[in-house]
């Protein structure tokens, strides 16, 4: 018998085969060589069952049937990838050993565990745990396979996370939706994140701006000119500020104090995923999801970076030689000049700014691999450039400055000047060819939104303490206190990482990573979900709260379940999941607490008065949220459009428009968009026609569904077969009874 390798995706499976079974025969859904059979999942092949799998009554949404708390959670195949699951089941019968080669993280562990549990696979399991997909790393990983039992705690944590999300999402969403007759999506992580946006919005609205005036003195001593800001209580009277400026203008003064201090700025830490997402958003406006997708392509498709879904900014001792190899591989590329200037002796096992094994859990910081980058898209190149420059900066010394702090006195009025004089450029040479080095490390990210009073210069600066100073001019500058800024995806990711706490201290930030909202791998999806269900919307980079998002938070807090909106509380849950993965906490106790919480949510919502439906709409009517209402049902987890209560149907119907008439013979219904698909308005009387939104690797649009129903086909496009292989062709409506689609090449 042979060993069955189960990878997470087809590309990964083929990479593995190329490294360890290069002569393996390709059977499309798997590859087979002399020793190994290599196949793959396509994301989640197995899911938690919907409520009606436990009892038919749950097909209709009724608050009196809540809470829904299964004794044991049932698993069901994902209907779209059922064929691939059957392939794995058949291949497993020919194998006496399984190798879990899914992504090396909690979610990858969960994907394999679901397959193993559903198919009741009893073979012993080995675990491939690697951080990049270069052939060398894959071969080394297979030479150092770990026993599957070592990851049992991680499996427990993954299962607890999944079931906890089901319990909170299912019960919370059904309770609020049926009570208020509007689709309301509630989630263990998404709701506290929405609360962060809500609270920031309230701060902005409550902010009262104050006008004030700065007096700026322009001074000269010999050949040196400099500016200083008046030191005193804030001036809110413009006349007083003008009088002060007039008082010192064209007068002689003295240097009351002058301090010069040598300082160093060390390179920013290597990237973890959240920091990479934040900076890609700041520099390029990339959404968190886009950055994650690009990073995954650089890792999986191009193999030019290490595993991106990491929460560590450090490497282990084993990674130091790899870093030196990656540096060598950058020779002859566009980074050749920086490689030639690199000091290899700076990256070593004793450098705790880079190598700190105690702060590396599952995966080290994101690094370039020793493979040369070729064929990258423009956006992939931008992200790769961020990663490479941050990596290269570790091979450069600190930037050195002299900081001059001057207090100038004129007519007994004092003015402060801070000049930062660059002496040695050090690692900042890596960024010298860019207009502005916007990327920032955690330790000074708070300065991003502040106006700096210090002046940075590259020319020598010096003053004589004993020599007079002339005030050549004095200017009055009108200013205004600023409200808190709207979240961007970058700043929201930062808030999620620290469970909403304003943390600037780097060490404390590291400590809070275990109790953030979600994980590096899931935060992007959470933000996308809030957009999809219509709770937030984008205005450029700014995240704005919709009226619906506002009402949802107010209803949840009004019901007395404030804990559901608490970032800190949910952060504690995430920390507990991390403790479960380490074997220091009980998953059973965690789940008992989640069940109690789900029950409490339902009990509180029952007592709540029904909200006015208009409270969910913007001042301009429902137009703004209407488009998003279509996608909202995904989060409330009703299985199909046919499985909603009458109250929910009314809400969905009012929010959706007719796509087309139902093509099912003898049916006179209309097709509306539902939770996961486009279903018929006559489903309550037996019409089972549905076209699933996600189909053959595409997220179908209204116009494509309309074309399928009215013309029987779409235009040509790139698609994915059920086995994960790419295809190009049209989608055709193969069965008018059911809505089943097929690919026409």
Q: Which residues are catalytic?
A: 307
User: How far from 45 is each of 41, 633, 720, CA to CA, in Å?
Assistant: 6, 21, 15
What residues does 305 pair with on adjacent strands?
368
Q: CB within 8 A of 305, min separation 6: which ones?
A: 132, 295, 298, 299, 366, 367, 368, 369, 384, 387
d(CA 148, CA 130) in angstroms, rounded, equals 14
Helix segments in 400-505, DSSP class H: 489-497
Q: What angle do CA 631, 161, 148 make, to 5 degrees?
A: 125
Which tokens belong to 515? 């109790």
Furthest-apart CA atoms within the chain: distance in Å: 100
Could you tell me if 677 and 700 are in contact, meaning their C-beta atoms sit under 8 angstroms apart? no
Euclidean distance between CA atoms 15 and 731, whole angstroms: 29
Which 8-state DSSP code applies to residue 487? P
Pick the closest to residue 726 from 685, 695, 697 (CA basis): 697
Q: For the chain, how many helices (H) and strands (E)?
A: 21, 27
DSSP single-letter state for residue 422: E
- 219 phi, psi to nearest 5 deg: -120, 155
| Residue 219, number of CB atoms within 10 A of its CB | 24
Helix, strand, coil distribution of the chain in percent, nearest 5: 45, 20, 35
Q: Find where tokens 């025969």 sit.
A: 25
d(CA 547, CA 535): 8
DSSP 479: E
Q: Are 398 and 266 in contact (CB under 8 A)?
A: yes
The 3 state secondary structure assigned to 433-458 is CCCCCCCCCHHHHHHHHCCCCCEEEC
Q: Whole-angstrom Cα distance, residue 542 to residue 578?
A: 32
- What would the DSSP string read from start to end of 94-141? TEEEEEEES-SSHHHHHHHHHHHHHHT--S-EEE---S---HHHHHHH
Contact 204, 488 (CB under 8 A): no
Residue 647 tokens read as 């109250």
H helix runs in 583-666, sequence order:
587-606, 623-636, 646-655
Residue 67 preceded by cis peptide, ω within 30? yes
- Locate 92 and state its tokens: 């497993």
CA distances 715 to 229, 660, 730, Å, are 65, 18, 6
Residues 6 or more apart whose CB falls under 8 angstroms from that of 14 comprise 31, 38
């Amino acid at each position: 018998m042979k060993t069955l390798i189960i990878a997470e995706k087809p590309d990964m499976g083929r990479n593995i085969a190329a490294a360890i079974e290069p002569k393996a025969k390709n059977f499309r859904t798997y590859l087979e060589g002399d020793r190994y059979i290599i196949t793959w999942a396509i994301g989640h092949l197995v899911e938690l069952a919907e409520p009606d799998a436990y009892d038919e009554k749950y097909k209709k949404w009724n608050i009196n049937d809540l809470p829904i708390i299964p004794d044991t959670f049932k698993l069901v195949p994902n209907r779209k990838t059922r064929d691939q699951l059957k392939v794995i089941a058949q291949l497993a019968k020919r194998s006496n050993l399984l190798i879990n080669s899914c992504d090396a993280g909690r979610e990858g562990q969960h994907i394999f565990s679901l397959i193993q549990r559903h198919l009741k696979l009893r073979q012993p399991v080995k675990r491939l745990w690697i951080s990049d997909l270069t052939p060398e790393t894959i071969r080394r990983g297979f030479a150092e396979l770990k026993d599957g039992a070592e990851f049992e705690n991680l499996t427990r944590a993954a299962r607890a996370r999944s079931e906890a999300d089901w319990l909170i999402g299912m019960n919370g969403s059904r309770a609020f939706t049926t009570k208020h007759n509007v689709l309301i999506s509630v989630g263990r992580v998404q709701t506290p994140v929405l609360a962060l946006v809500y609270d920031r919005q309230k701060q902005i609205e409550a902010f009262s701006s104050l006008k004030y005036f700065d007096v700026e003195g322009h001074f000269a001593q010999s050949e040196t000119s400099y500016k200083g800001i008046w030191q005193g209580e804030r001036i809110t009277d413009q006349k007083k500020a003008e009088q002060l400026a007039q008082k010192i203008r064209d007068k002689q003064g003295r240097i009351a104090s002058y301090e010069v201090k040598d300082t160093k700025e060390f390179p920013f830490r290597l990237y973890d995923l959240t920091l990479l997402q934040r900076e890609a958003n700041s520099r390029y406006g990339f959404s968190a999801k886009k950055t994650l997708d690009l990073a995954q392509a650089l890792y999986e498709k191009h193999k030019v970076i290490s595993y991106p879904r990491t929460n560590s900014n450090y490497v282990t001792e084993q990674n130091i030689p790899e870093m030196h190899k990656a540096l060598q591989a950058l020779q002859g590329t566009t980074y050749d000049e920086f490689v030639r200037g690199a000091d290899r002796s700076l990256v070593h096992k004793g450098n705790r700014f880079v190598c700190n094994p105690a702060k590396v859990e599952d995966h080290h910081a994101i690094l370039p691999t020793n493979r040369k980058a070729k064929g990258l898209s423009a956006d992939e190149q931008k992200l790769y450039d961020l990663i490479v420059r941050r990596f290269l900066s570790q091979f450069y010394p600190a930037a050195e400055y002299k900081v001059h702090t001057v207090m100038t006195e004129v007519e007994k009025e004092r003015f402060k000047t801070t000049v930062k004089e660059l002496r040695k450029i050090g690692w900042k040479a890596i960024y010298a060819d860019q207009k502005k080095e916007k990327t920032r490390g955690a330790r000074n990210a708070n300065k991003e939104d502040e106006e700096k009073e210090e002046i940075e210069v590259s020319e020598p600066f010096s003053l004589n303490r004993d020599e007079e100073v002339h005030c050549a001019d004095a200017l009055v500058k009108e200013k205004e206190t600023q409200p808190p800024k709207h979240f961007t995806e970058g700043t929201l990711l930062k808030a999620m990482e620290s469970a909403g706490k304003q943390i600037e201290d780097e060490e404390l930030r590291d400590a809070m990573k275990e109790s953030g909202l979600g994980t590096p791998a899931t935060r992007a999806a959470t933000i996308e979900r809030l957009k999809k269900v219509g709770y937030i919307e984008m205005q450029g980079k700014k995240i704005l709260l919709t009226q619906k998002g506002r009402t949802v938070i107010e209803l949840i807090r009004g019901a007395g379940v404030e804990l559901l909106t608490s970032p800190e509380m949910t952060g504690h849950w995430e920390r507990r999941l991390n403790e479960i993965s380490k074997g220091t906490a009980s998953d059973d106790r965690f789940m008992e607490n989640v069940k109690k919480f789900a029950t409490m949510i339902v009990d509180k919502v029952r007592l709540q008065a029904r909200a006015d439906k208009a409270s969910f709409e913007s001042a301009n009517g429902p137009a703004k949220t209407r488009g998003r209402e279509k996608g909202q049902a995904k989060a409330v987890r009703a299985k199909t459009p046919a499985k909603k209560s009458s109250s929910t149907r009314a809400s969905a119907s009012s929010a959706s428009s007719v796509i087309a008439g139902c093509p099912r013979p003898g049916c006179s219904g209309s097709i509306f968009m539902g939770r996961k698909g486009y279903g018929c308005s006559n489903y309550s009387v037996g019409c089972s026609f549905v076209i699933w939104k996600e189909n053959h690797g595409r997220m179908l649009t209204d116009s494509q569904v309309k074309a399928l129903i009215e013309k029987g086909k779409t235009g040509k496009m790139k698609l994915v077969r059920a086995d994960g292989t790419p295809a190009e062709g049209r989608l055709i409506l193969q069965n008018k009874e059911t809505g089943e689609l097929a690919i026409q090449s």
